[in-house]
Copies of this chain bind each other. A is one copy, B any other.
Amino acid sequence: MAKDKKLVEAITSMEEDFAQWYTDVVKKAELIDYTSVKGCMVIKPAGYAIWENIQRELDRRFKETGVENVYLPMFIPESLLQKEKDHVEGFAPEVAWVTHGGLTPLQERMCVRPTSETLFCDFYKNDIQSYRDLPKVYNQWCSVVRWEKETRPFLRSREFLWQEGHTAHATEEEAEARTQQMLNLYADFCEEFLAMPVVRGRKTDKEKFAGAVATYTIEALMHDGKALQSGTSHNFGDGFARAFGIQFTDKDNKLQYVHQTSWGMTTRLIGAIIMVHGDDSGLVLPPRVAPVQAMVIPVQQHKEGVLAKAAEVRDALAAAGLRVKLDDTDKSPGWKFSEQEMRGIPIRVELGPKDIENNRCVIVRRDTREKLEVALEDAAAKAAELMDVIQKDMFERARAHRDSHITDVKTYDEFRDAVEHKPGFIRAMWCGDEACEIKIKEDTTATSRCMPFVQEEISDTCVCCGRAAHKLVYWGKAY
């Protein structure tokens, strides 16, 4: 039992130190490892398998809307990066520069892509000639590099994996519709697949993407009450098209600029899953995204017939469509339980000689720790049913947590008090003046997260300056 306890004791409790708890979980659940390259990590099999599930599901949803995948180079020549003024200002300070190819200095240095708007524009400039070539709805899965000073696994690393969609359209309306379509796709994905409720809204001008006309965002609330921007979708209008000269001949044979969008989601989502659903025993994975959904753990497996029966149960669950494994290693059952909990596997099936005698097994839910005695012949059906139940319950619990951590405030005193004493989202009216946004950030460290699509008037004056205000904003401390 000493070994079993050690595994559990090694995690700091969430209440004690949330940041340390997070770091402990990513390491102990074997999601990542650190490397010799500061700010870059190894994504280990347990972590990468989560990303593969995210990819597969997102990619499927993308393709249903007509998205096609492509691959563009990882390098951006400096002159290309500089073509759109706001964009270069936003990214140049944090890119990695390549200056030599082999032993030879490059004539022009190149950065490793921090994002690929400029490359897609350079490509579209040649690829788009006529209205018949539109729309272009392309996406790529790749890694990008941003030379951040402070890094944390999944949440902020110098290299991270993501997808970036880049589209070009004939009209402003079509670009706007695609921007919102992808934002809603992201939101639905988070809620349905990751069991993670999000607020859908628009970023203020101050917080929008470098070069965008409008940025839409989904914001999730972590267990510690901080917000996490979980996906963004940008409408560029024709700004990039004008900077890069991306024109097409319309049906009336007139030259027009295209309207563009881009949208992305990253491995940061894995950080979100951890911080929304995790507990003091480790990771808790929603069944849909869990690489392993059920672990069969035999008790007294050296006794005759136990392993064989455990394998039968595993096969029955697999036949019912579950991703299931059997832990027949020589570790103690208690150790195996701890590992299954640490890794966030949604259920375990315990099975010993007595259970077999009584033709039953015990299913333990990871999320609630509830134990269910189930007849062996019902195990597979029950496990399959639990996948849906757990997925739904996890979403409802996360939503209840989120909703109980929203504070509506009308005055600046209330705002300051909420930032200090009530972790979570703060909802307050805003006049629209960037000066108020800056003041709030300086005074409280809270930032505007988004102007939600669903607007309400909880007061008629700006929480900061007291002038007339008609915009409801979600504020919060953020990752």
Contact = CB atoms under 8 A, between A and B. Distances in A.
Interface string A181-208: 0000000000000000000000000000
Contacts of A142: 143
Nearest to A149: B102
Interface in A157-176: 158-159, 161
A126 interface: yes
Contact of A45 (B33, B45, B69, B75): B69
Among A102, A122, A145, A161, max chain B CB count under 10 A is at A102
Interface stretch (A88-96, A363-371, A380-388, A407-415): A88-96
A48 interface: yes
B40 A73 contact: yes
Contacts of A77: 36-37
A250 to B, nearest CB: 16
A93 B97 contact: no
A203 to B, nearest CB: 24
Contacts of A95: 102
Which bracket fits the contact residues of A?
A: 35 or more
B93 A45 contact: no
B71 A35 contact: no
Contact of A35 (B40, B69, B72, B98): B72
Contacts of A35: 72-73, 119, 122-123
A138 B45 contact: yes
A145 B74 CA distance: 9
A37 B99 contact: no
A147 to B, nearest CB: 4
A98 B97 contact: yes
A77 B75 CA distance: 19
Contact of A48 (B71, B92, B123, B145): B71
Contacts of A36: 77, 80, 122
A68 B37 CA distance: 23
A71 B161 contact: yes
Contacts of A42: 70-73, 123
A70 B51 CA distance: 10
B101 A147 contact: yes
A68 B48 CA distance: 9
Given A33-B123, A43-B70, A71-B161, A94 B100 contact: no
Nearest to A138: B45
Q: Which of A97, A112, A158 has the most chain B CB within a 10 Å cutoff?
A: A97
A75 B119 contact: no
A97 B100 contact: yes
Interface of A: 33, 35-37, 40-45, 48-49, 51-52, 68-77, 80, 92-103, 110, 112, 119, 122-123, 126-127, 138, 142-143, 145, 147, 158-159, 161
| For the complex of A and B, 8 pairs with smallest distance between CB atoms | A40-B73, A101-B147, A45-B68, A97-B100, A43-B71, A102-B147, A37-B73, A99-B99
